[in-house]
Amino acid sequence: MMKFKPNQTRIYDGEGFKRRAACLCFKDEEEDEVLLVSSSRHPDQWIVPGGGMEPEEEPCGAAVREVYEEASSSTEKPHGAVRQHHLKTRP
């Protein structure tokens, strides 16, 4: 099931794949607890917060926005994009 969000503009790469951003959110510097949210497609599964990027949005900013939208959590100290991973799939 896909959620429809009004006024949403989807951003695609040159090959037609939706550009997405996600991040790992740790509770503290010990990195022994990570934030997970339930999947809207598979409610019995846990995933890291993430979603589609908006026009002219950088991956790090998109990831921080998605964390707030999905978990109502904000970051005090974002470290930026540690690794960019390109995974391309079709439904």
Domains of the chain: 20-71 (3.90.79.10)
What pLDDT score does 46 carry?
95
What pLDDT score does 38 carry?
93
> Which sequence positions are flagged as catalytic?
69
32-66 residue pLDDT tens: 888 999 998 899 999 999 988 999 888 888 888 99
How far are the Cα atoms of 7, 33, 67, 77 from residue 26, in angstroms, in the given order?
A: 31, 6, 12, 11
